């Protein structure tokens, strides 16, 4: 039986008093799929450094106790430097153990990821088929598999790269096994900050009810493809009920790319939650196309248990909405923010500052949208051209895009693609946070509607101001 260790990397950026971590849904899905396709052949261990980082000595002791046959690491592009350090450590400790890299970073870089000699294999795109196929090949002793394994990338003995295309025959999400939640300790995450910024702690689980997004925003990675594939409403309910009755989870983060693309499906999920008497709550830290909402669906979501919705507006400029291929109906979004607030849902906005050639006037349009909206909270991020995205291809070479994204922070502006200097863009970002959150009327609404209660609100407020001071110190160091 092969012992497979799957690793989530530590958040390498801001380390405040509140740690941020979410149960690793992707790793749990990989393990569940491999278990189903290879019953009884593998033993899985998931280690998430976002919960508790390990020193080199602790890793040595842990891996000595597990003696893994394969190590898999999931990484985002901002984790690139952390990934390099971790692979160097593992290769020193276990030089003969194959290391597999996956996640959005592997999808973005493809064969370039194997420039790191410690990475034996990479799996790009939707990872289940490729990872299970690699396990099959290694079991047969095929170190350099000749058969097509979706998304698998490796270096041949002659030094050339074998790069299989990602899976074109995308998986039917209704036939996928439920994630291997038995490998996760939900208690480990119960005191940590989550993706949903309006709550800290408590037992919860992330769920994904659909994959794929037909829109073409230039700043997004394309991991799951453009074809929308959704679980049936009953399959979604089955997933929730498994977590409710086996793990006592009644709080869910829905992290689809676009949960509400099928309007009737979204309504039916809400109806079934109420019909089956599921006493749950749920949030959308991302995952909604907010100009496709309306009052009817917002009310249905609220009645079913929705308490938080993120509105990814990005820019208040209609010209930039077109340029970044987001094409949001801004007035519809503004209206839906107000509807959600009226229904008692905590509303949170995402805004991006510094798109290519963006003017100061266009930044002000974005800020004016945020300030005049009924949003309870907001993040104002600076634009980062991640490699593998259309945005990076438009404005930077692959090398510069990787350098800009590695160990990057959405709150520290070292370069600017816009007409504003990095210093001016940073100043406007800081002003945006302060003006937004120090608005007296907004403070009253936040206190009235905050779903986590006053203790949670005070801890998040302290976290926010600590973050601002950290950003200021980092800017001073880098300037």
**What is 84-145 written as a DSSP string?**
HHHHHHHHHH-TTS-EEEESHHHHHHGGGGGGSTT--EEE-SSHHHHHHHHHHHHHTT-SS-
Between CA 144 and CA 153 the distance in angstroms is 10
Predicted pLDDT of residue 469 = 67
Same structural domain, 392 and 441: yes
Q: Which residues form the domain of 103?
A: 2-163
| Domain total of the chain | 2
Neighbouring-strand partners of residue 350: 312, 379
Between CA 466 and CA 201 the distance in angstroms is 19
Q: Considering only 138-152, 185-199, 298-312, which range has the smallest mean pLDDT?
A: 185-199
Neighbouring-strand partners of residue 163: 153
Domain CATH number, residue 64: 3.40.50.280
Same structural domain, 309 and 421: yes
| 383 part of a folded domain | yes
pTM for the model: 0.91
| 89 part of a folded domain | yes
Same structural domain, 13 and 135: yes
Residue 167 vs residue 18, higher pLDDT: 167
Same structural domain, 204 and 152: no
Q: Per-residue DSSP letters for 404-417?
A: HHTT--TT--S--S
Last residue within a domain, chosen from 122, 142, 163: 163
The DSSP call for residue 380 is E
| 49 part of a folded domain | yes
Q: What is the pLDDT of residues 402-436, one digit of tens each?
A: 555 554 566 666 678 899 998 899 899 999 999 99
Q: What is the pLDDT of residues 44-91, one digit of tens each?
A: 999 999 998 899 999 999 999 999 999 999 998 888 888 999 999 999
Same structural domain, 62 and 122: yes
Q: What is the pLDDT of residues 283-323, one digit of tens each?
A: 999 879 999 999 999 999 999 999 999 999 999 999 999 99
Predicted pLDDT of residue 384 = 86
Same structural domain, 159 and 201: no
Scan for tokens 């036939």, then name that residue: 175
Contact of 286 with 195, CB cutoff 8 Å:
yes
Q: What phi and psi, each to the nearest 5 degrees, are found at residue 313?
A: -80, -45
Same structural domain, 147 and 284: no
Predicted pLDDT of residue 440 = 95
């Amino acid at each position: 039986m092969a012992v497979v260790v799957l690793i989530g990397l530590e958040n390498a950026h801001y380390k405040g008093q509140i740690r941020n971590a979410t149960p690793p849904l992707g790793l749990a899905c990989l393990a569940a799929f491999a278990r189903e396709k290879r019953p009884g052949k593998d033993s899985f261990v998931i280690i998430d450094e976002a919960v508790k980082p390990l020193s080199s000595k602790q890793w040595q002791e842990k891996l000595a106790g597990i003696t893994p046959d394969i190590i898999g690491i999931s990484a985002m592009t901002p984790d690139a430097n952390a990934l390099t350090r971790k692979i160097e450590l593992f290769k020193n400790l276990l030089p003969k153990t194959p290391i597999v890299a996956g996640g959005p970073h592997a999808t973005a870089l493809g064969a370039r990821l194997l420039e790191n000699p410690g990475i034996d294999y990479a799996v790009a795109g939707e990872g289940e088929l490729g990872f299970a196929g690699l396990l099959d090949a290694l079991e047969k002793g095929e170190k350099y598999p000749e058969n097509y394994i979706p998304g698998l990338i490796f270096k041949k003995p002659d030094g050339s790269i074998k790069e299989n295309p990602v899976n074109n025959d995308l998986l039917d999400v209704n036939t996928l096994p439920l994630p291997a939640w038995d490998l996760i300790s939900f208690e480990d995450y119960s005191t940590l900050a989550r993706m949903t910024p309006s709550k800290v702690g408590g037992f919860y689980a992330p769920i994904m009810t659909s994959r794929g997004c037909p829109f073409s925003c230039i700043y997004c990675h394309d991991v799951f493809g453009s074809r929308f594939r959704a679980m049936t409403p009953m399959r979604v309910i089955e997933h929730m009920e498994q977590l409710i009755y086996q793990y006592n989870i009644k709080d869910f983060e829905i992290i689809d790319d676009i949960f509400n693309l099928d309007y009737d499906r979204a309504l039916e999920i809400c109806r079934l939650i109420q019909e089956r008497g599921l006493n749950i709550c749920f949030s959308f830290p991302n995952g909604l196309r907010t100009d496709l909402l309306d009052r009817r669906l917002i009310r249905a979501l609220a009645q079913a248990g929705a308490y938080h919705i993120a509105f990814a507006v990005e820019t208040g400029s209609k010209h930039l909405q077109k340029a970044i291929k987001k094409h949001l109906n801004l007035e519809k979004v503004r209206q839906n923010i107000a509807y959600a607030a009226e229904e008692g849902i905590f509303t949170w906005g995402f805004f991006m500052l510094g798109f290519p050639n963006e003017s100061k006037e266009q930044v002000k349009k974005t800020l004016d949208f945020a300030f005049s909206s009924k949003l309870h909270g907001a993040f104002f991020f600076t634009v980062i051209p991640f490699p593998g995205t259309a945005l990076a291809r438009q404005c930077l070479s692959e090398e510069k895009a990787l350098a800009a994204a590695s160990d990057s922070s959405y709150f520290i502006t070292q370069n600017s693609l816009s007409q504003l200097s990095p210093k001016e863009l940073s100043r406007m970002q800081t002003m945006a946070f302060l003006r937004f959150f120090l608005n007296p009327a907004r403070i009253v609404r936040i206190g009235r509607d905050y779903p986590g209660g006053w203790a949670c609100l005070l801890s998040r407020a302290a976290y926010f101001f600590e973050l601002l001071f950290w950003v200021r110190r980092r800017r001073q160091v880098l300037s």
